[in-house]
Amino acid sequence: MLNFALFGAGRIGKMHARNLASHPKAKLRWVYDINPEASQAVGQETEAQIAQDVETILSDAQVNAVLIATSTDTHADLIVQSAKAGKAILCEKPIDLSIERVDWCRDQLQSYSVPIQIGFNRRFDPSHRKVAQAAQSGEIGELEQVIISSRDPSPPPKEYYLVAGGMLRDMTIHDFDLARFVLNEEVTKVTALAGTLFDPVAQEIDELDSAMILMQTARGKLCHINNSRHATYGYDQRLEAHGSQGMIRSENQQATTVERFNANETYRRDPLPEFFIERYTQAYLDQIDSFIEAVESGNPPSVTYEDGRRALILANAAYQSLESGKTITVSYA
């Protein structure tokens, strides 16, 4: 049994709180949010105590692990503080928006030997995982191409855009990580094209709403990511791997497999999931299972700090490509 504390009780923090509170191997002991209403809501729904500050949590010897689900700009400091206190860390993506901050945090972590896992939950989606396994096991022969489609149902509000840190570091970062997971080789070249095609709010603040990215590994394997901040038909999440002996893909998921046919509508299935919390329910649960297993066994977590760092390096390369109009050769140094 691991005693957890949750930092951040917003959109994703509330979901993590529920998952931790109902997990057979976890106890949610504390919650802390700078917004007291947010922590109270979690306190009322779970048995978590409401902390008034970070120190109360980190000085509690009963706390084994922290889950960091605060706004992105607070992650690096909370990681370092938690590591100093000897707590195992599960931190939401991205680690930070600045590679300098990510490297500063990595250097600080050298002095502490706590397990740290980054919240790239899509690696734990059972269907995406099967695609990655098939790509690596030889089931589809030699892997040649990976295609990732990720479209949000609708654009976020202006306040979100202003703090999220740009589409490629906030949204596409999941896909950069998924690409690395399926390719199982480092990406060496990145070419990006992007634009603002439909969202007036994005236009007003000079933000992107659509992107297509091409990447290649040193051995020549290719990956295409396509992202949009809207899709009229719901949250669109698909992954495909093509190899010398076949193709495997993880399709969109619907609540049921019911198909309807009639004279007016020739064919209809259930709508797509509303958004990430509905689509990746199992992945968020399996992510916590994997973290607990790593902490209890002493094995390294399956999604490492370096994975978080490299996904950000790919996002930075994509921005560089957009600015220069060139293909960028990636350095992970």
Ligand X SMILES: NC(=O)c1ccc[n+]([C@@H]2O[C@H](COP(=O)([O-])OP(=O)(O)OC[C@H]3O[C@@H](n4cnc5c(N)ncnc54)[C@H](O)[C@@H]3O)[C@@H](O)[C@H]2O)c1
Q: State the sign of the Cα–Cα–Cα–Cα dihedral 66, 67, 71, 77.
A: positive
For the chain, the first-to-last Cα distance in angstroms comes to 38
Six token digits for residue 154: 């609708």
- Are 5 and 32 in contact, with CB atoms under 8 Å apart? yes
Verify binding: residue 148, ligand X, rule CB under 6 A.
no
Minimal distance, residue 14 CB to ligand X, in Å: 8
User: b vs e for 64-99, b when ≥16 Cβ sit within 10 Å of the residue's Cβ?
Assistant: bbbbbbbebeebbbbbbbbbebebbbbbbbbbbbbe
Q: How many of the other CB atoms lie within 10 Å of CB of 101?
A: 16
| Interface of this chain with ligand X, residues 80 to 99, rule: CB under 6 A | 92-93
Helices 99-109 and 305-324, packing angle to 10 deg = 160
Residue labelled with tokens 């995982």: 129
Segment lying near ligand X (by CB under 6 A), choices 2-10, 20-28, 197-205, 222-230: 2-10
The residue among 22, 209, 13 whose CA lies nearest residue 92 is 13
Instruction: Give the span between the Cα atoms of 37 and 175, in whole angstroms.
Output: 33
| Interface of this chain with ligand X, residues 34 to 53, rule: CB under 6 A | 34-35, 38
| Sole binder of ligand X in the list 2, 20, 21, 32 (CB under 6 A) | 32
Minimal distance, residue 188 CB to ligand X, in Å: 26
Site string for ligand X, 243-282 (x = CB under 6 A): ---------------------------------x------
Question: What DSSP character marks residue 299?
Answer: P
Of 77 and 186, which CB lies nearer to ligand X in the complex structure? 77
Segment lying near ligand X (by CB under 6 A), choices 29-37, 96-104, 212-220, 221-229: 29-37
C-alpha count within 13 angstroms, C-beta hemisphere, residue 282: 8
Minimal distance, residue 118 CB to ligand X, in Å: 9
Verify binding: residue 301, ligand X, rule CB under 6 A.
no
| Sole binder of ligand X in the list 2, 4, 7, 181 (CB under 6 A) | 7
Minimal distance, residue 216 CB to ligand X, in Å: 26
Site string for ligand X, 51-70 (x = CB under 6 A): ------------------xx
Minimal distance, residue 120 CB to ligand X, in Å: 7
Site string for ligand X, 98-127 (x = CB under 6 A): ---------------------x-x------
Instruction: Give the span between the Cα atoms of 313 and 169, in whole angstroms.
Output: 9
Minimal distance, residue 321 CB to ligand X, in Å: 23
Segment lying near ligand X (by CB under 6 A), choices 9-17, 142-150, 185-193, 240-248: 9-17
**Is 300 buried (19+), middle (13-18) or exposed (0-12) by CB count in 10 A?**
exposed
Of 63 and 134, which CB lies nearer to ligand X in the complex structure? 63
| Sole binder of ligand X in the list 2, 5, 9, 83 (CB under 6 A) | 9
Instruction: Give the span between the Cα atoms of 6 and 69, in whole angstroms.
Output: 7
Spacing of C-alpha 19 from chain mean position: 16
Verify binding: residue 13, ligand X, rule CB under 6 A.
yes
Of 119 and 243, which CB lies nearer to ligand X in the complex structure? 119
Backbone dihedral region of 255: left (phi > 0), alpha (psi from -120 to 50 degrees) or beta? alpha
| Sole binder of ligand X in the list 10, 36, 86, 300 (CB under 6 A) | 10
Contact set with ligand X (CB under 6 A): 7-13, 32-35, 38, 69-72, 74, 92-93, 119, 121, 276
